[in-house]
Amino acid sequence: MTTTLLDETGIKRAITRMAHEIIETYQGDKELALIGIQTRGVFIARRLCDEIKKTEGQHLPCGELDINLYRDDWTRISHQPVVRPTEIPFEVTDRRVLLVDDVLYTGRTIRAAMDALMDFGRPASIGLAVLVDRGHREFPIQADFIGKKVESAYRQHVNVMLSEHDGSDHVTLT
């Protein structure tokens, strides 16, 4: 059985709310930068940056990070890791970095992202924004900004579809 958690309007509302929460928390901090985790986290980060610019007029640096070589489970996923681009067009050292991803589940992806980020410098702080938090942590990681919190069974899947990658916007639970 498939349940729609967020439709296009719901995703837009969640991103708008998250952007406003980020604005309120960081209050124009010039050292703030967003880094989206490949793949869908990149698109969410871009949307957040666009919404913050539209609301506050503040242009935030926005990068993208591939974590596949840092994962502790890539051998379970495939024989060869699929490496995507990492583009961080700004200095990471002493910045307040907000990592952005589509779904927070076990925390393994975020742990890998923090390891990868450290290869680029030493941020002043690292925060986390996710579109969906579905629980079931294996690491002590929590999001600072959440679009939607979902109660799910361990065997269920949260599927985030974004127009930039998938042709349409929606989030389902299967």
Alpha-carbon distance 104 to 135, whole Å?
Answer: 7
Alpha-carbon distance 81 to 69, whole Å?
Answer: 7
The model's pLDDT over 63-99, given as tens digits with 9 standing for 90+, comes to 999 998 886 655 455 556 677 889 999 999 999 999 9
Amino acid at 140: P
Return the CATH fold of 3-173: Rossmann fold (3.40.50)
pTM value? 0.93
